Amino acid sequence: MADLDLARFPRLPLLGLPTPIEPLAGLTRQLGDALNGVRLFVKRDDLAGFGGGGNKLRKLEFLLGAARQEGADTAITVGALQSNHARLTAAASARSGLACELFLTRSVPREQEAYRRNGNRLLDDLFGASVHELPREADNLAAAQARAEALKAEGRRAYVFPAGGSSPVGCLGYAACAAELLGQAEAMGLDLAQIVVPNGSAGTHAGLAAGLAATGRNPRLAKSYAVLAEAEQAFAETLEKANATLDLIKPGARIAADGIVLDGAHRGPGYGIPTDAMREAVRLMARTEGMLLDPVYSGKAFAGLLHDIRAGLYPAGSAVLFVMTGGVPGLFAYPDAFSDASE
């Protein structure tokens, strides 16, 4: 089993660990020869006991650990209006007894009532967060930091989390995940050819790459599909964050540029904008496995993975692991994307 000692970093347990690895048997039966003999597995990071679940809880374990160590009484974070990270920050703050403020921008050109008020946005309010909605062009991180300073002047102490929780400290969550899943794969007799994730704020891929490198594995084992930034920017951010995270674990260690594998071909016209391939992937997973992909992150990433398998990228017999990162509440902000008119 891969050994990775992160005990020196403060951590607040939030996600029941380890999350299981499961085969996609129903999808395999449905697709048959189209999978070219590739064996598909999922790691269920969508499972959690509260907040609607999702991968951001791994990052929040370390972020909230750091916040509590610093004596914070308020968690502040930023994101798009339907941010999964913001929703889970609100839920985890409620569970931890912290006040929570969210600075959310209208980053996606969608004006439907469901997008503005349902999904994650509805849950932000239910979890008791104070929500500040900002226009698309606003610098929400600057606004969050200004709010933290205002609270400090009142004798409060706020800890500001970046978008997606993807600071080096937050990325430690997926460094830990790398060691966890390697141990599970070994116990299951799986020789993984690829670990696949979506890439939004880059922290999930960066953490995995850092964890793989820190445990002596090739960071190229992790691959992501960009869904937020275009490929060049997503690559640069992922490499930078991977090395910053690895430096926390093993000071001075580095991942070379060729250690990051990223595909930007399945983002579509922009962040949060539905694609036909995403719709197919979401419907396919739902109708063969009863599992839910979200329309912004995992739906596009799984669409990319299916494309590459059908194109023969992986040899027959390869074991490929897709990390189910959650984000299910986001489906309820996109009902029109799955209406008959979108078929």
Encode pLDDT of 192-214 as tens digits: 999 999 999 999 999 999 999 99
What does each C-alpha distance from 23 to 13, 29, 254, 335 come to in angstroms?
A: 26, 11, 33, 28
Domain formed by 21-53+168-342, architecture: 3-Layer(aba) Sandwich (3.40)
From the list 194, 204, 205, the residue with the least C-alpha distance to 41 is 194
Whether residue 80 contacts residue 124, with contact meaning beta carbons closer than 8 Å, is answered with: no
From the list 201, 184, 175, 240, the residue with the least C-alpha distance to 8 is 175
Whether residue 90 contacts residue 53, with contact meaning beta carbons closer than 8 Å, is answered with: no
Whole-number pLDDT of residue 16: 84
- SS3 of residue 40 by DSSP: strand
Below-70 pLDDT ranges, the chain: 1-2, 340-343
Domain formed by 56-165, architecture: 3-Layer(aba) Sandwich (3.40)
Encode pLDDT of 259-287 as tens digits: 999 999 999 999 999 999 999 999 999 99
Residues carrying an active site annotation: 83
Whole-number pLDDT of residue 44: 97
Whole-number pLDDT of residue 335: 96
Whole-number pLDDT of residue 23: 98
Whole-number pLDDT of residue 48: 79
Whole-number pLDDT of residue 300: 98
- Ordered by start, the domain boundaries in the chain are 21-53+168-342, 56-165
Q: Which helix (H) or strand (E) holds 251?
A: none
- SS3 of residue 130 by DSSP: strand
CA angle centred on 44, ends 203 and 29, rounded to 5°: 125
Q: At what angle do helices 56-69 and 168-188 cross, to 10 degrees?
A: 130
User: Quick one: 205 exposed, middle or buried, by C-beta within 10 A (0-12, 13-18, 19+)?
Assistant: buried
Whether residue 314 contacts residue 42, with contact meaning beta carbons closer than 8 Å, is answered with: no
First and final CA of the chain: distance in angstroms? Answer: 45
CA distance 280 to 260: 27
Both structure tokens of 325 = 């990162």
CA distance 86 to 280: 27
